[in-house]
Structure 1
Amino acid sequence: MKKILFVTHNGRFLVQFELNDIRILQDMGYEVHCATNFKGESMRVDAEQTLKEHGVICHQIDIERSPLKMWQNTRAYSQLKSLLRSGDFAGVHCHTPMGGVIGRLAASATHTAPVIYTAHGFHFYKGCPLKNRLIYQTAETFLARYTDAQITINQEDFAAAQKFPLRGKAYYVPGIGVDVKKISSVQVDRATKRAELGIPQDALVFITVGELIPRKNQEFLIRAFSNANLTNAHLLICGSGREKEHLEQRMQELKVAEKVHLLGFRRDVYELLKCSDVFVFPSKQEGLPVALMEAMAAGLPCIASRIRGNVDLLENSRYLFEPADENALCQLLKDAANDVQTEQECAQNREMLKRYDTENVSEYMKCVYMEVLIGEKE
């Protein structure tokens, strides 16, 4: 049986985003291995155990997310080279920036090919700081010579990838897939769910989903929500992260602590979406946001920042705003309170999502794997 190796900086990423690709390769007859850093994984997800349950053979490689941890990542590079030399792998599929760097360099050093790299959102993009282009775009341009398939998940990144001096070529795949039918069919007793959260039955409920980090821009959202001063409105924020204490402090300062609810990591996000009225996504940087797709599938009107990925999904929406324009977001929150999107608009969102449905994305990925690994075009 031929073997394929996934490389990323942590195992939780594979559990969250790559189980479908793993299944595709297994169905094609490949034995799937992963090389990643399981140390320090969040307790809420036992990534190694989950991957093993899905038939994946796991290897501990000490990759660190930060490129500044040079010593640790140099050691990870040596570990990965040893694994590739001893493993006789028929290909490597890299994910995350440091997984992409170390994976491609190690594959080149051991003459392992073909090499696939999925960019879940380049760290250089329209409007990014100059240092991002100097560091990340330069790195991607250099590593292109070791890349047989550069997969991108939004149109801006695809256009950028086509300019790289790739050993192979660039591919566009519409994200990692979202199960539109499953999300659409979720049933929830809104009254009961709202009572569990301590929210009035007649309240207007905004919701956002994302890790509590600066890139997700939750403080910006809380300020806009406060300034909108909406009567009987509440904001749900689902996610955990290092910004929790800071956000709690800002909520107290802005006197919205009783109306803004930090719910932490949730396993009932679909139900929370179904008991909410409007989804808000103020992120500064995305590849192709699953959270936004899930909200669209749930039938919610969506307010979102006008950035790469979001505009792929909501290109003609009247609810887009510049990610630094707090006044614009404040006004859109007010507009949504007075003029919630029509059912027709929400239906259009669900229709748009068909191309991003899991089944459709799986067909894209299978075609890429067939062409790159086997040399066959469907």
Structure 2
Amino acid sequence: MTRRLRVAHLLTQDRGGPVDVTLDLAAALLATGEADVRVFGPPPARGTDVIAGHHEAVDLPRKGDLAAGLRVRDALLAWQPDVVHAQDRRAGLVAASLRRRLPVAHTYHGVPDDVGEPWFRRQSGALGPSAYTRVVLTADSALTRALDRTVVPSPTMARFLRDRLRVPAERITHIDNCVRLPESSPPTDPVRRLVFAGLLVERKGLLDLLEALATPGTMPAGATLTVVGDGPQRQTAQRRARRRDLAGRVQFLGFRADVPRLLREHDALVQPSRMEQQPLVVAAAMAAGKPVLATDTGGVADMLAVPGAVSYLAEPGNVADLARVLRALFADSDPGRTGRLLAARARERFAPEVCADRHLALYGELLRSREDRGQPVPVRERERS
């Protein structure tokens, strides 16, 4: 009897994009029937139902905790996986110690917070990140070159790794993020109910959005904004939203686990970030058939480049440009057409089965490459051969 591939996913955090991606990918791999999956990491803040029976609690609270790192390493080896897939920076450091014994993949979800879009894109005269962040990026470069393969969610991130971090192209694989796709429900009338979903931090651009909506002539009668998420900018944003020009038109819901349902209940998503890669909420909104207004950052333009669909893109950090694009979105008499086209594209790119198939192909390639080079291959893989 052929054994199923054993894939160990390693996380060191309990919430955020890497966690959501990992849980959805694990569920998708299990659904294929071709892989047995276990997620090693702290209990997730949401989504534990999708990996019920396939999670082992381990904790690595900080990078320098050698004892915790050894415990995590021992837990991974005890399960005897065929492949280890690290899903964040600390996880990558632990997984690197296993490369002599197992194929190791690593997903590079994003750059540190103070990396700006101009520097990321190597624009002339762009202000670079802090000295500390440069050290982090140097470590990222060393790590990605040490592992068998680094998965990136967008072509722009692949270029960054090649051009900035000097990672050889053959060590990089682009695989779109895996997203549980909500039911499609395109708007039937002009857009009036906007939703923002994300951490309330500077790089997410919520204050830019509020300023743009408050610009005279931007927000039509009956238009509203729902803010989903929490973070250090919440109080500042709430004070701004209480001013006369926005009073009563902005609602703050805080952290929510039902974002797919909230997307269905609104007409369009607004993602005004100053820096992104391939936001999960954009993919989810596309799948829900909602027009997406976003800033041209990271891989967002690539996500929304769908023939026939209206592309609502603004310059990151430019309030006037954001207001201009908002007016165009509100004026669209048939936003449902764009929504339907985006929903079709989301199912082609981000569907769990598509994501699972591409990862299975990658894992198989890593195992074959290892065997071709005469490196140790897990006993389980030899038994399948």
Q: Do the structures match in fold with TM over 0.5?
A: yes
Distance 1:166 1:88 in 2: 29
* Alignment match of 2:20 (pick from 16, 21, 26): 16
Distance change (3 Å), C-alpha of 1:159 and 1:178? farther
Give the Cα separation in 2 of the matches to 1:144 and 1:327: 39
Structure 1 equivalent of residue 122 of structure 2: none
| Cα distance in structure 2, aligned partners of 1:215 and 1:93 | 28
Report percent identity of matched pairs.
21
Q: Secondary structure at the match of 1:140?
A: helix
Q: CA RMSD in A?
A: 3.4
Residues 275, 76 of structure 1: alpha-carbon distance in 2 compared, 3 angstrom cutoff: same
Amino acid at match of 1:119: Y
1:36 corresponds to? 41
Secondary structure of 1:130's match?
A: coil
Mean Cα deviation higher: 356-365 or 27-36: 27-36
Q: Which runs of 5+ in 2 are unaligned?
A: 120-126, 372-385
What is the rounded CA distance, in whole Å, between the counterparts of 1:271 and 1:23 in structure 2?
20
2:282 equivalent to 1:260: no
Q: Secondary structure at the match of 2:221?
A: coil
Match of 2:128 among 127, 130, 142: 130
Q: Could you tell me the TM-score, scaled by structure 2's length? A: 0.77
Separation in 2 of the partners of 1:185 and 1:343? 9
Counterpart position of 1:339: 332
The secondary structure found in structure 2 opposite 1:183 is coil
- Matched with 1:147 is 147
- Cα distance in 1 for partners of 2:250, 2:199 equals 16
Over 3 Å counting, the alpha-carbon distance change for 1:287 and 1:74 in structure 2 is farther
Query: Cα offset for 1:30?
Result: 5.1
Counterpart residue number, 1:292: 282
Relative to the length of structure 1, the TM-score reads 0.78
CA contact (8 A) 1:117 1:149 kept: yes
Q: Deviations over 1:14-36 (max 9, x none)?
A: 76222343245545665533332
Alpha-carbon shift at residue 333 of structure 1 (Å): 1.7
Q: How many residues align?
A: 347
Q: Contact 1:15 / 1:51 at 8 angstroms: preserved in 2? A: no
Amino acid at match of 1:262: F
Deviation, 1:139, is 1.8
Shift in Å, 1:87: 5.1
Aligned residue in 2 for 1:60: 58
Where do residues 33-182 of structure 1 align in structure 2 (5 Å cutoff)? 33-38=38-43, 42=45, 45=46, 47=48, 50=49, 53=52, 55-64=53-62, 71=64, 73-84=65-76, 88-100=80-92, 102-108=93-99, 111-123=100-112, 126-128=117-119, 130-131=128-129, 134-162=134-162, 164-165=166-167, 169-179=171-181, 182=182
Q: Select which of 5, 10, 29 maps to 1:7.
A: 10
- What is the distance in 1 between the residues matched to 2:102 and 2:169? 11
How far off is 1:371 after superposition?
A: 1.5
Other-structure match for 1:301? 291
Contact 1:154–1:287 (8 Å) recurs in 2: yes
Task: Please list, as runs of the form range in 1=range in 2, the aligned pairs for 1:193-208 lying within 5 A after superposition.
Answer: 204-208=192-196
Output the amino acid matched with 2:157: D
- From 351, 356, 366, give the equivalent of 2:360: 366
Residues in 2 aligned to 1:51 and 1:344: alpha-carbon distance in whole angstroms: 32
Q: C-alpha distance in 2, partners of 1:3/1:254?
A: 58
Letter in 2 for 1:285: M
Identify unmatched segments of 5+ residues in structure 1.
65-69, 191-200
Task: Please tell me the residue identity of whatever aligns with 2:273.
Answer: S
- 1:174 is displaced (CA, Å) by 1.7
1:84 CA drift (Å): 4.8
Instruction: Check the 8 A contact 1:63/1:99 in 2, yes or no.
Output: no
Distance of aligned partners of 1:144 and 1:294 in 2 relative to their CA distance in 1, 3 Å threshold: closer
